[in-house]
Structure 1
Amino acid sequence: MIFNWTFTGTDPQKVKYFLNRQGISRTLLKKIKYHGGAIKVNDQDVTVLYLLRSGDRLTVLLPVEEPLERIVPSALPITVVYEDPHFLVVDKPAQVASLPAHLYPLDTMANRVKGYYLRQGYSNQVIHIVTRLDRGTSGLMLFAKHSYAHAVLDQELQHHQLHKTYLAFVAGQLVHDHQMITFPIQREAGSFIKRTTGASGRAAQTEYWCVRRFQNATLVKVQLHTGRTHQIRVHFTAIGHPLLGDHLYGGPQTEGLERPALHCQQLRFYHPFLKREIKLTSALPDDLMALEQSLANQSN
């Protein structure tokens, strides 16, 4: 993939500093240098130390990426919410893991997206997951289609410029209409999976707004300000309101619900190549719509 810029600065600037401002990291520059990429100014090969002058045309050719053989393509379909040459956003169903692991080696979103890339005939079949979701969580998942797109959105994540909004059904009626939960999160002693809150944990911030109160549950909109493992599930458990269906954290079991009642409803990020914000939404899946109706009926 090729990217072009025209340098308009009044003072000369090294190529590496200009590209860093465009989101091309040092790691990606090394890949360009050693793995078949190229950097040209006015159609001539240059190094990253070359001084750009006003009017220079800078071209970067990204190297071909080798796909990981351990990610086996799946023939199962995906639901595409948004796609362009740089990004793919899909609607992940519940009970599908994001990446292959020992328990789920084949049928994950990475496998399904790789199969989709193959069926579409895309030359780059490397899987770049920008925002992953827990296996039991449904909703919007963002993939980058090349390493440059991934690097730019990683920077957005680090600077809290990429936003995900969730809907969750939690046990009981929350007292506050709006609250920020700030308990640090750490791994629970003796468990590789479970997390808990604790003073020695990593800083975590979860903001929520009540959307609808039921007799024995509350529907909340949740905005994450940090990205800790199981953060929403752990934080609502810590305040005494675990997610419905979340057996790992003691959430009440509900008929017809086989997973935590959590859905990534909205995704918002700045598109660095189109120079505009992308805002996407996903409707509640069938099991959570049925849950909402059931809770409403119980409250009448």
Structure 2
Amino acid sequence: MILREGSKLVYHRLAWKEPFAPHLLQVLYEDDDMVALNKPSGLQVLPKGIFQQHTVLAQLQWKEWKMPPSRCSKRKNVQLHPVPVHRLGRGTSGLLLCAKTKLAKVQLASYFAEGAANAEKKRDETEVGKERKISKFYRALVTGILEHDEDVVTQPIGLVHYPGVAEGLYVACSSGKPAMSKVCVLERLAHQNQTLVQVEIHSGRPHQIRIHLAYIGHPLLDDPLYCIGGQPKFHDLESTSTDISFAYDGGYERPLQPVPGDCGYHLHAHWLVLSHPTTNKVMRN
């Protein structure tokens, strides 16, 4: 029908039914400015797609954070604003840094932004490392045996069209944005044809570790999406159409091909070093 001025349009959506997700968040460190959480694999950080309430952000907002009276009297303009300041993939476990105030959020976000900017400059890795105010270290279990004890991967990461992912899929791409990962071998498991590695990322591109390790020929063990070369396991991207029929939960049917949010790979955010957003003291969690 043709709507007239003053008409109201009401949309009755089906009741939302989110899939199960683990919800226990262990607090590893907390002060007046920030909190470091141990995120389980399977829990999404920010709302997206079929996960709107089963997220880290929702849990942060539900929790009743209390500011010490002494802090409130000294800083009247302190505003509680609990929010993650970086992301971990839904299938990635481990340390997630969150701000508790707007001031801390701005400061910590600037650390990550500076790190990404430095990764784009034509500098050697030592100089870049000295300038960074936050460094993140991951542990990953990859397929195959790495030959060298250390390796620096600088493959750019960019977007390509991919069915089921509206904004596109991040892959190893020569026309993408600069990215840098430092890979160190921790243990070679020859009898299992696997290697345990530590990865320090000097930039924060989406799925960077998964893509970089796959690019050098050692994808994460059981990664459902990325294969050798840093490309998706499904290659015939043009011939597949996405089923857009409505699903039982009111959303759309799940894509038939693997998507970035799928779990199963072995990646853990192990520890980080940063300058405290208020005191500027160097901390290691």
TM norm. shorter chain > 0.5: yes
CA contact (8 A) 2:80 2:102 kept: no
- Written as runs of structure 1 = structure 2, the 5 A alignment for 1:71-150 is 76-116=23-63, 118=64, 120-121=65-66, 126-150=81-105
CA contact (8 A) 1:97 1:109 kept: yes
Task: Please tell me whether residue 176 in structure 1 is matched to residue 148 in structure 2.
Answer: yes
Flag the 1:76–1:248 CA change in 2: closer, same or farther, 3 A.
closer
Task: Please tell me whether residue 246 in structure 1 is matched to residue 223 in structure 2.
Answer: yes
How large is the RMSD of aligned CA atoms in angstroms? 2.3
TM-score (norm 1): 0.62
- Distance of 2:23 and 2:223 partners within structure 1: 27
Amino acid aligned to 2:201: L
CA contact (8 A) 2:22 2:42 kept: no
**Deviation of 1:125 (Å):** 5.4
Task: Please tell me whether residue 228 in structure 1 is matched to residue 183 in structure 2.
Answer: no
- Distance of 2:206 and 2:171 partners within structure 1: 10
- Alignment match of 2:284 (pick from 279, 283, 286): 279
CA contact (8 A) 1:75 1:115 kept: no
CA contact (8 A) 1:180 1:208 kept: yes
- Alignment match of 1:198 (pick from 173, 182, 187): 173
SS in 2 for 1:145: strand
Amino acid aligned to 1:247: P
Match in the other structure for 2:5: none
CA contact (8 A) 2:34 2:100 kept: yes
Residues 98-141 of structure 1: CA distance to partner in whole angstroms, max 9, x if unpaired?
0111211111111122222x2x4569553322121000000001
TM-score (norm 2): 0.65
- Distance of 1:76 and 1:121 partners within structure 2: 21
Amino acid aligned to 1:134: G
CA contact (8 A) 1:181 1:207 kept: yes
- Distance of 1:194 and 1:76 partners within structure 2: 27
Match in the other structure for 1:71: none
**Deviation of 1:158 (Å):** 2.5
Flag the 1:115–1:196 CA change in 2: closer, same or farther, 3 A.
same
Residues 221-245 of structure 1: CA distance to partner in whole angstroms, max 9, x if unpaired?
0000111000000111111110002
**Deviation of 1:188 (Å):** 2.6
Gaps of 5+ in 2: 1-20, 68-77, 116-132, 234-262
Aligned residues: 200
Flag the 1:275–1:125 CA change in 2: closer, same or farther, 3 A.
closer
**Deviation of 1:77 (Å):** 4.2
SS in 1 for 2:174: coil
Flag the 1:145–1:268 CA change in 2: closer, same or farther, 3 A.
same
Higher RCO (Cα < 8 Å, 6 or more apart): 2
CA contact (8 A) 1:180 1:207 kept: yes
- Distance of 1:270 and 1:260 partners within structure 2: 30
- Distance of 2:221 and 2:211 partners within structure 1: 13
- Alignment match of 1:263 (pick from 265, 268, 271): 268
Amino acid aligned to 1:169: L
Match in the other structure for 1:66: none
CA contact (8 A) 1:75 1:112 kept: no
- Written as runs of structure 1 = structure 2, the 5 A alignment for 1:282-293 is none
- Distance of 1:222 and 1:86 partners within structure 2: 27
- Distance of 2:227 and 2:154 partners within structure 1: 20
SS in 2 for 1:259: coil
CA contact (8 A) 1:77 1:112 kept: no
